[in-house]
Amino acid sequence: MTTLDDAPVEANEARGRAAELRKIKEQVHAGPSERATQAQKAKGKLTARERIDLLLDEGSFCEMEPLRRHRATGFGLENKKPYTDGVITGWGTVHGRTVFVYAHDFRIFGGALGEAHANKIHKLMDKAIAAGAPLVSLNDGAGARIQEGVAALAGYGGIFQRNTKASGVIPQISVMLGPCAGGAAYSPALTDFVFMVRETSQMFITGPDVVKAVTGEEITQNGLGGADVHAEKSGVCHFAYDDEITCLEEVRYLLSLLPQNNRENPPVVESEDPAERRSDELLDLVPADGNRPYDMHAVIAELVDDGEVLEVHERWATNIICTLARMDGQVVGIIANQPQALAGVLDIEASEKAARFVQMCDAFNIPILTLLDVPGFLPGVDQEHGGIIRHGAKLLYAYCNATVPRISVVLRKAYGGAYIVMDSQSIGADLTYAWPTNEIAVMGAEGAANVIFRRQIAEADDSDAKRAEMVKAYKTELMHPYYAAERGLVDDVIDPAETREVLIRSLAMLKTKHAELPQRKHGNPPQ
């Protein structure tokens, strides 16, 4: 039985314990040593806690398991048991909304993953899925902790399984802020978006030394798997930046455009850009001559709120544009051909890029706007042997499977299979519009005339004049601006200057769209 006389003694003991806890927490926050921190800084990198502070709203971070230590023995591990075990996990807010985050601490075991390290990440991922909130990983680790053997590999398996479980349920963002080699690279590849920082982050399955030993090729880490390589060549990286501060600012911006989970819509903000604003500049931006290039980015900037966009895969497959933006405050995903690159044709990489973007938008309730100016699929032996049929089918499947509001606008050319694939009315677009400069046909007039009127052209005294005559006749009969509208294949031909207003009104009407797919375990999309 406790008496009043005993209370001060217990209180003093409690105060002592609290002081001890504060000392331990201070040690946890300071990290393993000042020397380790300086080594991190010497590489031009921030510490894990500095990165979390930049990502989250000030003072919002709540840490999970800061006192966790590994239980491994052997190879000297039993004598080195730092707090956190090399990964900081927890949650906070970004623009006032909950976000879960884990950050590898390279100062501890080089950020390498062991059993306790992995268990912390597993627990965080489970909570993110249960809470229905985005998950951001700040990656800066040396892969599996070799001293812990297969237990470390099993830890990665648990992460991959949860990445897959969370796919399409909550947004998953991987931020590469250091090395990521071997099997560890598959977790970012399973997530929705990958950010990288030039010079400091690399991703590869086998490093330069292994490549040299096996193939004889000599290459640097950045040359093999740096930010620019993955942003321009492989398509693994969606966004690449010069420094960590800018990179994390852009992660915050991306989160502001995404819903918390697949059961919510993206946040709507009040826009000061009038919904009924005319864009007379569009009449001059897009030449009527289908052979003349122009910058589709300028068209998109005229249509969206304040010209602000966040382009995904900006430097990969540049013949197609995939970007997030707002129209009257509502988030939309825009897919558009880029006439300045390969005339805006669809090829293998463009098809993959757009298909992935359509799937992401559909998963997170983001309406899809498609702007067409496409001459067809890119011809060539390399494309056919590379599987353009299979890859083009990915884009077709993604559009056909999408249940979010879908609107397409034909600006100029829309030829052949590429017209069908890019969200035509026949594959389920909710609304289709066209500008008076549109040309919707099986192929261009020149090619069509050469096929249809081959004999007449060959037998003519002046074959060039006959060909020109037949091309003009084909255009007049089958390619005039109102041909598709007369047959109900587009809902209306609109004044380009009124496109923004028409689209915003259409999106408002489709806001309550409800569509269901047939009951099934899952589809079997082309791979």
Taking the mean position of all CA atoms in its chain, how far away is CA 217? 31
- String of b and e for 267-300 (b: at least 16 CB within 10 Å)? beeebeeebeeebeebeebbeeebeeebebbebb
Cα separations (Å) of 499 from 159, 362, 496? 45, 23, 5
If one counts every other C-beta atom within 10 angstroms of the C-beta of residue 452, the result is 14
If one counts every other C-beta atom within 10 angstroms of the C-beta of residue 161, the result is 13
- The edge-to-edge listing of strands for the beta sheet with 87-94 is 62-64, 87-94, 97-104, 135-139, 172-176, 193-197, 239-241
Active site residue 183: yes
Active site residue 182: yes
CB distance 133 to 103 below 8 Å? no
Among the listed residues 182, 329, 387, 428, the single catalytic one is 182
Among the listed residues 183, 207, 387, 428, the single catalytic one is 183
Among the listed residues 417, 428, 460, 497, the single catalytic one is 417
Could you tell me which residues come within 8 angstroms of residue 81 by beta carbon, excluding any fewer than 6 positions away? Answer: 69, 70
| Amino acid at the residue 22 | R
Of 522, 301, 244, the residue nearest 401 (C-alpha): 522
Integer Cα distance of 70 and 68 in angstroms = 7
Among the listed residues 112, 144, 418, 485, the single catalytic one is 418
Cα separations (Å) of 225 from 193, 199, 353, 445? 17, 10, 19, 45
Active site residue 418: yes
Pull the structure tokens for residue 240.
């690449």
What does the chain come to in residues?
Answer: 527
Integer Cα distance of 307 and 330 in angstroms = 14
CB distance 437 to 459 below 8 Å? no
Integer Cα distance of 522 and 195 in angstroms = 29
| Active site members | 182-183, 417-418
